[in-house]
Each structure stands twice: as C-alpha cells, then as structure tokens.
Amino acid sequence: MSDKRNPADRIRRVVVLGANGTMGYQSGALFAAADVDVVYLARTKEKAEKGREGAANAVRSAAIKSRISCGGYDDLGKHVPDADLIFEAVAEDLDIKRALYEKVDAARRDDSIVATVSSGLSIDELVDGRSDSFARNFCGLHFFNPPQVMVGTELIGGKATDPQVLDFVESYSEKVLGRVMVRTANTAGFAGNRVGFKVLNEAAQLAMTHGPLLVDRLLGPYTGRAMPPLRTIDLVGWDVHRAIVDNVCAKVEDEAIATYRMPERMRALLEQGTLGDKGGYGFFKSDGKGKPKLVLDPTSGEYRPESHQNVPELPFVDEIVFLHRIGEYGRAMQRFAEADGELAEMSRRVIGGYISYSFHRVGEVTESIAGIDRIMAAGFNWAPPSALVDTIGKDRTVKMIEQAGLPVPKQLTDAIARAGDGPLFDEPRLSLGRYFVAAA
C-alpha cells in the first residue's frame, strides 16, 4: 500500500453506486472534475444517466459528462474490476448496502478501495461478512451536502481498515479533491452530525414552548452560523433529523443526551406528514410566493403569518448584529456573554452547550478539538467551538458555561491551559469572520 506516487495517479477510475441520488451524483462530480474517469451505476442505466445530468447541473457544465459513463447494477461485474475506488452512496439502510457490498466483494480487485458516504451507519457492521481484503480497504468518506460548496469531509476507519488506506484517502481527498478532512471515530453521527444535531434538536425542543420564530432569532446567524437552526432542520428534512437523533440516542449515553431526545410533539407532527422543505412545510411554510413566511404553532399544528407573532424586541441581538457588520466580532460576542435577561440566558445555554458538548467529545469522536472545529466550520458553516471560545474570551466562556448550569469539560480547561495567551483555534485555512454573520 505504501505508495510514493502522486495520489492523483493512483485513482484513475471510480465507480459510483447509487449515482441517481443527490449525494451520489454530486460526489461523483467531484471525482470527474478532478479528471478521473467515473462510472455512474444505479438500479437502471436511465437512472444513472439522470444522475449524470445532475452532475452537469451541479458544476454548471455539460463538459463534465465526457468523464462520466453510465450503467445499471447488472453491469457491476463489468465495471467494478477496473475501478481503483468504489464509492457507495445508496440509501442509508444497512441491508441494502450489505447486499450490494457482497456483489462488489466478488468483483473488485484486491487493491481497490471501497468507501461509503454514509452519515452514520457503523463501518464495522457494514463490513460484517465481507472478505478480509474488502474490510481492510473499506472506509467511510462522508461528504456534506452540497459537496460542491461544503468542503468539510469526515474520514472514518473501522476496526479492520488498513491505516495506510486511511492515510491515502485522506491525502487524496485533500490534494486532489480539495477537501478539508477530519478523521473521526466510528461512533454514531461521527463528529459533525453528533455535535451539530445536538444543537439543532435542542432548538427544536425550545421551539415547542417558545415558538419557532423566537428560537431562530435567539439562535440565529449572529451566534455564529450561516442559517438559523430550525431553518436548517426544515432544509435537512424532519425524517432525516429523526433518523440521526434516534440513532445517537440508541447508541450513545453522554452528559447531554437529554437535549438529544426529539420532542414528542415534533415526532407526532412528522408522523402526520410534516417533513420540512421537501414536503412544503416544517417549522416554517412558504405561502408559495417566498414570503411572507408562515410559522408553525407547535401546539395547534397550524401556520400563522410571521407578522402575527408576538416576538419580543431583542435589543442585545441588534447590537451584536451591528458589531458583526463592522467586523467587531470580539466585542460582539462579549456583549453576547454579558447580555441581561432570560432570553439571552436561553441563547447562552444553547451556545454554551455547543461549546461544552464539543469539548466533551474530544477523545471520543476526534483526537483533538481541531477536528470538531474543522467539521463544524467546513461541514456546517458554523463558528467552530474553539473560535467561539477565543472570540468570547477564555475565562468569560468558562463562566458562561458554568452560569448556564452546564458541565465545564476538562478537555476545555486543559486546552485553555495549553494555549496560554495564544488562541485555541489554529486553522489558517478557515477565515473566522465569515461565521459571524450580521443577521438576526
């Protein structure tokens, strides 16, 4: 496996399984854009061809299609033996994936790599029953949606994965595909979703009593994210949200798991068909013309115009937004840490919780906080936890977490002690200011 060649030379042909799905064709386009020959496979050749059209749309060029050929799963035996990398992006279902892997195992070359884009299934369970060679060369390569925009990527090895395979996939993804890579443990939700959906679900819990509009304002872009949390859940889809939080709740017991339980009322609404944007309505609903926005009343399940909502004035939010607007991020977040009132406290509990939860995960899902920082920035478009600590101020952050009644992780106090006068966040490839968005 040790290979001194340019990583680009080792991957000349990629087979994408599930190329009709959004993640399939978009991820496949990353390889095709890097001048790799890519074969799109789906249940039928026609579906794969639709995926190829999707790839052209994703990169806004029909020229990419010359790099992509198409086929159905019947052609798998023909294409897989030629592939240097087999990239699987079929439905997030253990049995479906396993059945396909059996066919891949029979057809692949011993030196080919197999990667799954799965966002949460266990790498070890996925290779159960496969050949040693398959398991050695198998890893999770979790791109975030849409991969053309979100460069953060998680790399997950299983118990049997050859460390040199992981080294190679990491360097290939960085150098050839331009990804920002994070290695994570094979734990539920890996790093990004584990931390991200904790915050999203806590916002959903608060929305059940305080209403979606107030919660999205309190935890909005000014707290260090491109999109407010409930808008994010609507975009992701309520069904996907449920699958992710239920998976974590089933497999994990941690200090903040209570914030990870999906509100029963939300579960009921989902069962009645509330799916988020893909079904037309979630926490918010468009009137068909884009605006005005209609807002869910979680109690009645009805939607009311935004203008009819009783949302209190939030002067501290306005002040922070202005400070972000002129680039005074430090002063802005210090104002956040010191703002008076229950609503400011509520917001600080969630943001403090994000920082506390992230540092608690160090050693469990990533080796250091840098991995969580990278994936929250480049996978979620959120201010990374370390950067929040630096911007709010180290001592002020600890105090903020304590006052919110949350545990201050040893990983955080250790990191603060190690950093001395310097910053916790050390990632020259990510420019911090972009995560402090000047919008309420």
Partner 1 sequence: MANDVFVLGGHQTDFARNWNKEGKHFLAMMRESVLGALELTDVPPADIEVAHVGNFAAELYCKQGHLGAFFVEIDPAFSGLPTSRHEAACASGSIALLAASAEIEAGRYGLACVVGVEQMKTVGSKVGGDFLGTAAWYELEAEGIDFPFPKLFGKLGDEYDKRYGLKAEHLDAISVINYANAKLNPNAQTRNWYMSADHAACKGDDNPAVGGRIHLTDCSQVTDGAATLLLASRDYAADYARRRGIDLDAIPRLAGWGHHTAPLRFADKVKESKGHKYVLPHVRATVTDAMGRAGIASVDSIDGIETHDCFTTSEYMAIDHFGLTAPGESWKAIEEGRIALTGDTPINPSGGLIGAGHPVGATGVRQCLDAYKQVTGTAGDYQVEGARTFATLNIGGSGTTSVSFILSR
Out of 96, 149, 257, 268, point to the residue binding partner 1 (CB under 8 A): 149
Long-range contacts of 201-204 (CB under 8 A, 24+ apart): 201/241, 201/245, 201/259, 201/260, 201/261, 201/262, 202/259, 202/350, 202/353, 203/229, 203/230, 203/233, 203/350, 204/229, 204/230, 204/233, 204/241, 204/262, 204/263, 204/266, 204/283
Place of tokens 């250790």: 414
Is 59 a binder of partner 1 (CB under 8 A)?
yes
Out of 304, 325, 331, 399, point to the residue binding partner 1 (CB under 8 A): 325
Among positions 327-346, residues that touch partner 1 (CB under 8 A) are 327-328
363: which 2 tokens? Answer: 């050693």
Is 437 a binder of partner 1 (CB under 8 A)?
yes
Number of residues in contact with partner 1 under rule CB under 8 A = 30
Nearer to partner 1, 61 or 209 (CB): 61
Nearer to partner 1, 118 or 386 (CB): 386
Is 159 a binder of partner 1 (CB under 8 A)?
no
60: which 2 tokens? Answer: 């806004």
Helix pair 192-210, 229-236: axis angle to 10 deg: 110
List the x/- string, 271-310, binding to partner 1 by CB under 8 A.
----------------------------------------
Least distance in Å: CB of 71 to partner 1? 22
| CB neighbour list of residue 398: distance below 8 Å, 6 or more residues apart | 408, 412, 413, 416
The span from the CA of 265 to the CA of 277, in Å, is 19
Out of 148, 167, 239, 252, point to the residue binding partner 1 (CB under 8 A): 148
Buried b (16+ CB within 10 A) or exposed e, 274-313: bbbbeeebbbbbeeeeeeebbbbebeeeeeeeeeeeebee
The span from the CA of 436 to the CA of 422, in Å, is 21
Stretch that binds partner 1, among 95-103, 147-155, 272-280, 290-298 (CB under 8 A): 147-155
Residue type, 388: L
Nearer to partner 1, 178 or 405 (CB): 178
Is 427 a binder of partner 1 (CB under 8 A)?
no
The span from the CA of 343 to the CA of 437, in Å, is 20
Stretch that binds partner 1, among 109-117, 262-270, 301-309, 323-331 (CB under 8 A): 323-331
Residue type, 16: V
User: In the beta sheet, which residues pair with residue 140?
Assistant: 116, 156
Out of 81, 129, 163, 178, point to the residue binding partner 1 (CB under 8 A): 178
Nearer to partner 1, 76 or 176 (CB): 176
List the x/- string, 2-41, binding to partner 1 by CB under 8 A.
---------------------------x---x-x------
List the x/- string, 215-254, binding to partner 1 by CB under 8 A.
------x---------------------------------
Nearer to partner 1, 62 or 258 (CB): 62
| CB neighbour list of residue 359: distance below 8 Å, 6 or more residues apart | 369, 385, 409, 411, 412, 415
The terminus-to-terminus CA distance of the chain in angstroms comes to 51
Is 257 a binder of partner 1 (CB under 8 A)?
no
278: which 2 tokens? Answer: 């893909």
Out of 2, 4, 5, 66, point to the residue binding partner 1 (CB under 8 A): 66
- Give the residues lining the site for partner 1 (CB under 8 A): 29, 33, 35, 59-64, 66, 148-149, 151, 178, 221, 321, 324-328, 428-429, 431, 433-434, 436-439
